[in-house]
Amino acid sequence: MRHDVCAVEELGEGELAHVRVGERDVVVVRSASGKLHAVAGRCLHQGALLSGGRVLNDVEGERPGTYRLAEGREVLKCPWHGYEYDVASGCALFDRRRRLRSYEVAEYDGRVVVEA
Amino acid sequence: MTRFIDADVHERAELEDLLPHLDPIWHRYITDYGWQPERLLPYSQPTAGGLDRLDSKPDGVRHGGSDLGFLRQQLLDEYDVAAAVLTGWLNTSSLEEGWPEFKTALMSAYNDWQVQEWVERDERLFGSIHVNTWDVEGAVREIDRMAAHPKMVQVMLYSGSEPFGAPRFHPIFAAAARHELAVAIHHSENSPTALGRHRYFIEWHTLVSQVFMSQAVSIVFNGVLDRFEGLKVILVEGGFSYVPHLMWRADQQYRELRHEVPWLTRMPSDAMRAQMRFATQPIEEFTAPQLTTLIEQMGSDELVCFSTDYPHWDFDSPLRALPAALSEDLKRKIFFDNSYDLFPRIAAQVPREAAAPQGVPA
């Protein structure tokens, strides 16, 4: 079943949108490369709406004091405590066993739609 | 769920907001000379919204906690809060020493602003009397002045690097006890860890509990709780998982070194159980058995008071911060009863039945 999110042009790169899928909250993410992702919309920690968060580049570094932007690896950051999730897989970056459910999302007839 | 009393809600002022309440002699130092409270923390909070929850900023720009209407909507109404204790933004006790007369005046202005703009505009909001601990005499005057307002429920000290149990601060505790006000000690960005500030925010913030251990130890071993028997002290924004360790450690030291503090009349943990309380936030992820065990190790289920720390980034949701499987009795105590018993002025104005969800008997 398709769930309408918004018009395609309303969701720019790095932006987030919220949609209700039945009883569930879902957050739709447009990555910097333009790709769409959709994952469960409430943080696994205390239930904050992730659509109020941010999409940021992940950061990597091998030794204390080294920082490098992980190009192409985008994370969804909770607006409260900052829990971070991989936008593609929904996995928490601090523990990949904790995961937001992923949803199918696509552009259809000028609209962004989640399929569930 | 049980309605709750929130022991830590931050209203936010801009310095200019305080000018109508500040003696004009001080205005130019803010308007012309640019005085700002110093922030000694060498890093920013690497969170989605900095200090604030990203979604707590009115218009997406202003500071969280700066708009009463938005705070009502996002906290008081959203979670059906029975009562909330305002804990402020500016408290000069955590600043460096110096210019005490200005800072004492600033605290008076802040208190008057808080009452006018917040406390008297919503019956659910109760206030804290902010004082400048660098001017103990002025702090006592301010407590005596503000205690006349029935909705001011505690004296607020923000922690810098001074342990507050030292005898020179005792007149502040005496004044609070005289007015049957609790004393709250709140964390601040100017508190170091035991070994300074470390390289990273994550290190500093992990070690926040050290500051509260220091303050608790200072208060207990300097005899504050013995000297002022009716006094209650609440430690705010340090969590509570450190408490069993601290109680065990302090008791063991007292058994071994009691002669150094002969003014103590009780085991430290007994004094803490009788007179010290701990706000929950920032709470760790606990299972119900873990949290129940922790409370059992504290030797009382009456010590922990729920707090959200709204609007800050590590806000704890009353819907999710406590494990769902926790006993209803313990939830009721943490969410409501323990704060209700701590703050007699809230008890005088909020019926105990307010703990029940709207329309449901308690």
- Contact: A79, B54; criterion CB under 8 Å: yes
Task: Tell me the CA distances in angstroms from B275 to A41, B67, B124, B271, one per residue in order.
Answer: 42, 34, 25, 6
Of B48, B285, B320, the CB nearest to A79: B48
To which residue do tokens 């690896």 refer? A73
- Contact: B320, A46; criterion CB under 8 Å: yes
Whether B17 shows a pLDDT value over 80: the answer reads yes
Write down the pLDDT at residue A61: 95
- For residue A59, give the chain B residue with the closest CA: B46
- For residue B53, give the chain A residue with the closest CA: A80
Torsion angles phi and psi, residue A85, rounded to 5: -130, 140
To which residue do tokens 């395609």 refer? A8
A1–chain B nearest CA distance, Å: 30
B116–chain A nearest CA distance, Å: 29
- Contact: A77, B48; criterion CB under 8 Å: yes
B147–chain A nearest CA distance, Å: 35
- Does the model's ipTM exceed the 0.90 cut? no
Q: Where residue B362 falls among pLDDT bands split at 50, 70, 90?
A: very low
With an 8 Å Cβ cutoff, the interface of chain B facing chain A consists of: 46-49, 53-55, 199, 285, 313-317, 319-321
pLDDT in tens, B159-187: 999 999 999 999 999 999 999 999 999 99
Chain B residues lying within 8 Å of A79, measured CB to CB: 48-49, 53-55
Chain B residues lying within 8 Å of A80, measured CB to CB: 48, 53-55, 313-315, 317
What are the tokens at B301?
Answer: 């289920």
pLDDT in tens, A74-102: 999 999 999 999 999 999 999 999 999 99
Of B47, B319, B321, the CB nearest to A82: B47
- Is B183 within a domain? yes
- Contact: A48, B46; criterion CB under 8 Å: no
pLDDT in tens, B268-280: 999 999 999 999 9
Residue B82 and residue B337: Cα distance in Å, rounded? 12
- Is B362 within a domain? no
CATH for B134: 3.20.20.140
Of B54, B313, B321, the CB nearest to A54: B54
Domain count for chain B: 1
Whether A113 shows a pLDDT value over 70: the answer reads yes
Which domains does chain A show, CATH number per domain? 2-115 (2.102.10.10)
Query: For A53-80, what is the HEC assignment?
Result: CEEEEEEECCCCCCCEEEEEEEEEECCC
- Contact: A52, B285; criterion CB under 8 Å: no
Share of chain B above pLDDT 90, in %: 96
Note down the domain range covering B74.
5-351
Give this prediction's pTM: 0.95
Q: Would you say B239 and B187 are in contact if contact means Cβ atoms under 8 Å apart?
A: no
Residue B12 and residue B350: Cα distance in Å, rounded? 25
Length of chain A: 116
B94–chain A nearest CA distance, Å: 24
